[in-house]
Structure 1
Amino acid sequence: MRSTPPPPQLQVVAVVGPTAAGKSDLGVELARRLGGEVVNADSMQLYRGMDIGTAKLAEDERGGVPHHLLDVWDVRETASVAEYQRAARVEIDRLLAAGRLPVLVGGSGLYVRAAVDRMEFPGTDPEVRAALEEELARGGSGPLHERLAAADPAAAAAILPSNGRRIVRALEVIAITGKPFTAQLPGSDEEQSVYRTLQIGVDVARPELDARITTRVDRMWEAGLPDEVRRLEQAGLREGRTASRALGYQQLLAAFSGAYDEETAREETVRTTRRFARRQDTWFRRDGRVHWLSGAAADRAQLPERAWELVRDALGR
């Protein structure tokens, strides 16, 4: 009987970290060097037409590297981590079978974990969900977030008080399982991994990251984000429970409804994006498997080489 060859030492490279840290460019460079392909792990980049506000790389910015799981969902669809998990693993398995190394890139921490770790997602209970959504519509997300904080402080700390959709889901899971929402998440040890994954975190100090976020939002406005949101509004963006809450899109929809002007929408986008980036950073810092590299401007030129050294070590080269 022929012996089975040993499995490769590395199956997935994941480039993670907060928004505006420089993940997309690093992912392209690593995929190019590896002869690999990029698999998106940014929840909002899965939506068709949400290009400017999600900083989705244009075709000419992808360096000829194939990208997968972009432009998958209509803006009216509600995001599903379980659905993403199935799609991501199909892509990862397909690429591995073809001898191509998948490079997972994104700042949606739960999506990254869903792709590479052992996670099972509880089903849904229509009655429980409907009751929670009625409470959300009637009283806003604040009271529900307070309830979540009492039931599962760790989940409440990880979910923005304004993110009614995720708060509802966390409370629904608690009601269905009788366990904290965070109990559904895997630990950070290797036994939880589905694939042998190297996670590279791009680290940028808060003052520089805040400045980058301001610059990025300004450029989004200059590139026509208000027009993009108007087009998507015509395509049903307001109907989408997930897409309508995306950073920048939510603020512009509020401006179009008369809540404030577009300049205030821009300022609110900067403020909420900075806060979101801090939460992203906190999420990934909890996972001891992430290898952090400086993505600061002073170290940007060296970042690809330092990341490549980590990849080569993981490959045993």
Structure 2
Amino acid sequence: MRKQIPIEQLRVGMYVVGLDRSWIKTPFWRHRMQVESLDHIEALRACGVRSVEIDTEKGLDLASQGGIVSTVDPSSARIAALSSSRASSPQGKEPSTPFEEELSVAKEVYKQAKVVIGQAMGDAREGRGLDIEAISKVSEGLLESVLRNTEALSSLSRLKSFDEYTFFHSVNVAILALAMGRHLGMPREALSRLGLGALLHDIGKMKIPHDLLNAPRRLEAGEREIIKQHVMRGAEYLSQHAVLPEETLRPLLEHHERVDGSGYPTGRRRKELSQFGLIASIVDIYDAITADRVYHEGVPPIRL
């Protein structure tokens, strides 16, 4: 059963299916979600949300006299509680910084990340060495922001620039990958490797002709094969200019693989893919289809 309630009655454990405004104007990249913390509610308030629609069959309900009752069975409730606990942080703690407070910090972190990855892309295109220390530092900055408050930095991942798509895309993929990894309960060390790998997942595109990457038309079969080379060319470039853990290379190597074996460069199937690769492939697709490109208009997240 669905019902409309004021934001003041929203509680942790409720399942939100609608807002009184577009999801695009909120920091959440999922348009249906379980409220997992008080910080989620605070983020919605900060965006000006005044009422929400909840599904009482998937989450908690309001009792007739204002108390909270659950309409889900106990086992489902326990699963939801465990999921909420794991999502808070790798150590199981609630976000330590309110959304509005973290947002100003997140904006600066995002700006720095775009500059650093832009420089790295330029270095790769010119065949220069990679400043892995600078990239690692900015990756850690993204991770720290996500750990303090996932929604603040995730809200900025909606930033898209037509002219600087590759730079924005690399940063956005890193942010979304970190948010997903945190939600899955990954330890901090794993998140650190995931974030760095996601930032570098498209470095090989700098070895592809620029006019081909931004061609305002459907590519021919031979041209698509050239584009596909960016995966292995990126791996080759990183092997020459950085010493990285194998796990950190997985986002680059596997972000175009698909669970049914239809992806590239190796056609691996689900059981052969790493968790890092699966996460990277999901968020890579999500960011790509919600962005305006020279050859298509982005799909609003609310329609996904």
**TM-score using structure 2 length:** 0.28
**TM-score using structure 1 length:** 0.27
Q: Which has the higher contact order (CA 8 A, sep 6+)?
A: 1
